[in-house]
Amino acid sequence: MRKDFPILEQQVRGKPLVYLDSAATSQKPRAVIEAIARYYQEDNANVHRGVHLLSERATQAYEAAREKTQRFIHAAHAHEIVFVRGTTEAINLVSQAYGRTRVGAGDEVLVTVMEHHSNIVPWQLLCEEKGAILRVAPMDDEGQLLLDELEGLIGPRTKLLALGHVSNALGTINPSAPSRRWRTGGTCRCSSTAPGGAASRGRRAGAGLRLLRLLRPQAVRPTGIGVLYGKSDLLEQMPPGRAGAT
């Protein structure tokens, strides 16, 4: 295992380097580093924007990665996979594209008290802009979500529930479908998960999960790459969240 991570080959004060901050970012295995280097050495070009050989190869690689991600999270279609720069960007994109058109004055957005900042601040800003209300589901002293209270906070004005799968601060693993009400009601569930959980979460997409963002730090993928999954019908209704080039 250690030999797969070139950064761990170095010694610090005569001892092998040990890296424990993987909740913040992961170290990258040789396969990832080599794939990036190979891309820049052999295929680098704009995707979807050139008719020359390199652009075709870069586009093929890009679309192959989309299909691989689709299979990994059991999404129904490859076009449900949106590449973004990271989790924070995925949430901002959803709050801009989905939130701006679906959330109005007096509506409610529900988060939990254990959310990462990136899953609170964009919703706060949206609620301020729209005159909507941000509701926060509580947890107990053990860091577990109080599911009855969460359920009680979901009402007819709840437009979106933004819930992390695993808390990076507490390590709490939240149930993937903790509330009957959001499965049966019109609430859109936006979840974030580390890749390990993504496969099982995606499998449950039919049970009401509409938007899913994969967490970058817990993955071994390069910095600056993230994935947002959205059900086709939802993506089709969403206006562009960003204008111009990528």
Ligand X SMILES: Cc1ncc(COP(=O)(O)O)c(C=O)c1O
Judged by the rule CB under 6 A, the positions of this chain that interact with ligand X are 24, 86-88, 116, 118, 164, 168, 192, 215-217, 226
Closer residue to ligand X, CB minimum distance, 112 or 192: 192
- Look up tokens 């993987």; give the residue: 22
Closer residue to ligand X, CB minimum distance, 175 or 206: 175
Closer residue to ligand X, CB minimum distance, 201 or 216: 216
Parallel, antiparallel, or unpaired: how do β-strands 188-193 and 226-230 relate?
unpaired
51: helix, coil or strand? Answer: coil
For residues 111 and 128, give the distance between their C-alpha atoms in angstroms, rounded to a whole number. Answer: 15
What is the residue-wise DSSP string for 181-231? HHHHSSPEEEEEE-HHHHHHHHHTGGGTEEEEEE-STTSSSPTT-EEEEE-
CB–CB of 53/245 below 8 Å? no
Kindly state the smallest distance separating residue 156's Cβ from ligand X, in Å.
29
Question: Per the structure block, which two tokens stand in for 48?
Answer: 């979807």
Which H/E stretch holds residue 137? strand 133-137
Kindly state the smallest distance separating residue 164's Cβ from ligand X, in Å.
5
DSSP 8-state symbol, 20: -
Closer residue to ligand X, CB minimum distance, 24 or 105: 24
E-state strands within the chain: 11-12, 15-16, 81-84, 108-112, 133-137, 158-164, 188-193, 209-214, 226-230
Closer residue to ligand X, CB minimum distance, 107 or 229: 229
Kindly state the smallest distance separating residue 1's Cβ from ligand X, in Å.
23
- Look up tokens 């990994």; give the residue: 72
For residues 116 and 175, give the distance between their C-alpha atoms in angstroms, rounded to a whole number. Answer: 17
Closer residue to ligand X, CB minimum distance, 70 or 192: 192
For residues 244 and 75, give the distance between their C-alpha atoms in angstroms, rounded to a whole number. Answer: 27
Phi, psi of 206 (to 5 degrees): -65, -20
Kindly state the smallest distance separating residue 192's Cβ from ligand X, in Å.
6
Kindly state the smallest distance separating residue 80's Cβ from ligand X, in Å.
19
Closer residue to ligand X, CB minimum distance, 3 or 117: 117
